[in-house]
Amino acid sequence: MTTPSAADGPANRLSRATSPYLQQHAHNPVDWYEWGPEAMAAAAREQKPIFLSIGYSACHWCHVMAHESFEDPEIAALMNRLFINIKVDREERPDLDEIYMQATMILNHGQGGWPMSVWLTPDLKPFYAGTYFPPDDRYGRVGFKALCARIGELWNERREAIAADAERLTDYVRQSLKTTVDDSVVLALDHVDAAADMLGRAFDPTHGGIPSGGVNKFPPSMAMELMLRSAVRRWEDASRRQRLVGLIELTLERMARGGIFDHLEGGIARYSTDVRWHVPHFEKMLYDQALVSAVYVEAHLALGRDDFRDAARSILDYVLADLQAPEGGFYSARDADSDGEEGKYYVWTKTEIDAVLGADSALFCSYYDVSETGNWSDPHAPGVPKNVLHAPRDVATVARLRHLSPAEAERRLAAARRRLLDQRRKRTPPHRDEKILCEWNGLMISSLARAGTALDEPRYTAAAVRAAEFLLAHQRRDGRLLRAWRAGRTSDVAFLGDYACLIEGLLDLYEATFETRWLAAAIELNRTVVEHYADAEGGFFHTSADHERLVTRVKDVRDSASPSGNSVQLMNLLRLAAVTDDPQWRALAQRTIAVFAHDVATQPGSGERFLQAVEFALAGPIEIAVVGAADAPETRALLRVIYESYVPNRVLMLSDPRKPHEAPDSPLLRGRTLVDGRPAVYICRNYACQRPITDAGELRSALRGSR
């Protein structure tokens, strides 16, 4: 199978798209439109139904359907005759993806996914939907060609009935995406802890993580963050703490040793196709690198586990090596496929490894479970013994079996990994989606800024700075963000998630560098969010007030693979309210908590990040003001203690007495001075402050007690 971009033929409209995913379809014989006025006008003029195909660049089954159906001249001719065909990159247009995925799941009893295939009336109302369709009847699925023909017939014969069905379905979509407001529900810390306990019960006690659909496992980053916060806050409850922390440790250990982790180059795949984290779906998404590295760093700080630190470094080093653009921003993804086969770039036969490693192959194969018969059945080549590298046993166990010291075994394994990576790089690499998305870059900036300080790794902070500079210079026009950039071209819209995640990244970057430009940019963007996205009743819409009109305007709190915009923005409001003492932002935060209280209380498993912000609001921020020259050794020693401490509700600011005019105008810094000429740390919580601290050991104890 070839990738869609390899298809021959004249270019269609998608050749002008910014999205690499759309450009992969630029030579299909399908008369594709991008979503926009031209397509809508054609549908209205010709009174044809719209076929809406939504996918993304790293999606394996999107490529399969493109090759089987969209490159087929006969099927394309049928599509062109019957429909106005629109291709959408879900990563560029999450608003469309959310609305029409909801319709797809309603029509398919809760089942959805990508590629998403939806048929709409000319006024954009859905009436039929599914995911992948084979070209002809197979796998128990109706064939795409026959389905298109049947929908065309029904449109001609029963158009009014279809329009009525579409209207009813659209109303159902609107209602299902609507927030349920119940003023009688008031969130408390008990709700936070109950959610953490509920999530813990859902974890697999043997392999960690939460099975999805019975088999697949996605990295449960936000769930583990919530569980860790709750366990640490209630540290005195030893049995509960041990249970929750044990599940977090188990999950992080198994992920780091599983096939979901790229043991040669670093980085983590989107999900595992089995409960043991062994065989991944091989695509690597930027948001996963950000979220998973962040939880490894948090767990390292809270639990003192150096292996978690090393896992975080491996992910972040991969991001810097493979996903950071020369301009500074971060690319979106690496595909699962190369040479038309899923995972081909990543898997090995034992013969291949023996040829590269020679005498060191036995140790490597013992540790990474490589055998002549293979440890994975490749659906593309079922008779070939392929191996997905994973480490079911620890180094000490394998070293003992090979009569080596653990240190010597690790040295040899590291050398073997380097040699195999050099060999792997000679293969055709998976496609890299080189669009730069504000939302995902904001998540990555946040993770790098936090890791740079927590792990004392300045290059992570420097990478975050470069990305932030790029976004603010190239993905902002007239004060408004632009979601996507690629090769000098930008999209025209942005969404709540773009603002919320970038603001979060800028706040974390300020706490890492104390450069006031980052705090100023965060405050400015927050004003824009409040002006264009806020609902006066509380919460934020995903689209701006001046966004194109869709069949519904969504205001949702549910986290998915990445945190919801409302979850991140609530935390931003709380942090900025602490920094600025702005009563309007504090009031908006309280209204946001209230408006989503019912939804989060009834479905806590989909509000992990929101509940972290609720805990911040209810327990109160730990406000830390540092007074001292930022580059002075005594100040750096105090900051090192702060950065290496697990204080999840921290709000950190610094005032350099040499540069009083550069300090932010914040109540946290007013009246703060050196103590006997020495740098000092002021810790406040719930409007009460401790005496200033100048000693690093005393500061460490104070921060441990404040958690």
The CATH number for 682's domain is 3.40.30.10
* Together in a domain, 613 and 665: no
Q: Is residue 585 part of a domain?
A: yes
Torsions phi, psi for 141 (to 5 deg): -115, 145
pLDDT at 375 over 90: yes
Q: Is residue 592 part of a domain?
A: yes
Q: For residue 52, what pLDDT is reported? A: 99
Q: For residue 382, what pLDDT is reported? A: 79
For the question of whether the overall pTM of this predicted structure is more than 0.85, the answer is yes
d(CA 69, CA 52) in angstroms, rounded, equals: 14
Q: 634 lies in which domain range?
A: 622-706
Confidence band of 6 (pLDDT split at 50, 70, 90): very low
* Together in a domain, 541 and 644: no
Question: Could you write out the DSSP letters of every residue in 299-343?
Answer: HHHHH--HHHHHHHHHHHHHIIIIIB-TTS-B--EE-SEETTEET
d(CA 567, CA 613) in angstroms, rounded, equals: 7
pLDDT at 18 over 50: yes
Q: For residue 232, what pLDDT is reported? A: 97
Which residue, 166, 16, 179, is CA-closest to 100?
Answer: 166
Do the beta carbons of residue 192 and residue 157 sit within 8 Å? no
* Together in a domain, 71 and 52: yes
Confidence band of 8 (pLDDT split at 50, 70, 90): low
* Together in a domain, 382 and 503: no
Domain end (from 603, 619, 635): 619
* Together in a domain, 456 and 419: no
Kindly state the helix (H) or strand (E) to which residue 103 belongs, with its residue range: helix 94-107
Q: Give tens-digit pLDDT for 107-118.
A: 999 999 999 999
Q: Give tens-digit pLDDT for 64-92.
A: 999 999 999 999 999 999 999 999 999 99
Q: For residue 1, what pLDDT is reported? A: 39
Q: Is residue 182 part of a domain?
A: no
The 3 state secondary structure assigned to 88-140 is EECCCCHHHHHHHHHHHHHHCCCCCCCCEEEEECCCCCEEEEECCCCCCCECC
* Together in a domain, 362 and 409: yes
d(CA 476, CA 207) in angstroms, rounded, equals: 44
* Together in a domain, 132 and 238: no
Q: What share of the chain in percent tops pLDDT 90?
A: 93
Q: To which residue do tokens 């500074």 refer?
A: 328
Whole-number CA gyration radius for the chain: 26
Q: For residue 299, what pLDDT is reported? A: 99
Domain end (from 585, 602, 619): 619
* Together in a domain, 594 and 558: yes
Tell me the average pLDDT across 129-136.
97
d(CA 41, CA 53) in angstroms, rounded, equals: 18
List, in sequence order, every residue forming a beta bridge with 348; answer none if it has no partner: 387
d(CA 211, CA 205) in angstroms, rounded, equals: 11
Torsions phi, psi for 534 (to 5 deg): -70, 145
Q: How far is CA 373 from the centre of its chain?
A: 36
* Together in a domain, 534 and 612: yes
Do the beta carbons of residue 247 and residue 260 sit within 8 Å? no
d(CA 492, CA 461) in angstroms, rounded, equals: 29
pLDDT at 50 over 80: yes
Q: Give tens-digit pLDDT for 198-228.
A: 999 999 999 999 998 778 999 999 999 999 9
Q: Is residue 476 part of a domain?
A: yes
d(CA 365, CA 371) in angstroms, rounded, equals: 7
Q: Give tens-digit pLDDT for 301-310.
A: 999 999 999 9
Q: What share of the chain in percent tops pLDDT 70?
A: 99
Tell me the average pLDDT across 377-390.
85
Based on the structure, what is the number of domains in the chain? 4
* Together in a domain, 450 and 547: yes
Which residue, 14, 90, 24, is CA-closest to 340?
Answer: 24
Q: For residue 707, what pLDDT is reported? A: 75
Question: Across 377-461, where does the E strand assignment appear?
Answer: 432-433, 436-437
d(CA 293, CA 268) in angstroms, rounded, equals: 9
Question: Could you write out the DSSP letters of every residue in 645-684?
Answer: S--TTEEEEEE-TT-GGGS---TTTTT---BTTB-EEEEE
Question: Across 163-267, where does the E strand assignment appear?
Answer: 211-212, 216-217
Q: Give tens-digit pLDDT for 646-684.
A: 999 999 999 999 998 888 999 999 999 999 999 999 999
Domain end (from 155, 176, 197): 176
Mean pLDDT score of the chain, rounded to an integer? 96
Q: In what order do the strands lie in the sheet with 84-89?
A: 32-34, 84-89, 50-55, 116-120, 126-130
Contacts of 178 (CB under 8 A, 6+ apart): none
* Together in a domain, 59 and 137: yes
Q: Is residue 290 part of a domain?
A: yes
379-383, 544-548, 603-607: lowest mean pLDDT where?
A: 379-383
Which residue, 379, 266, 286, is CA-closest to 330?
Answer: 286
Q: Is residue 318 part of a domain?
A: yes
* Together in a domain, 109 and 240: no
Q: Is residue 74 part of a domain?
A: yes
Burial label for 142, CB within 10 Å (0-12, 13-18, 19+), is middle
Tell me the average pLDDT across 436-460.
99
Tell me the residue type at 31: D
Query: Angle 192-193-194 (CA atoms, 0-180°, nearest 5)?
Result: 95
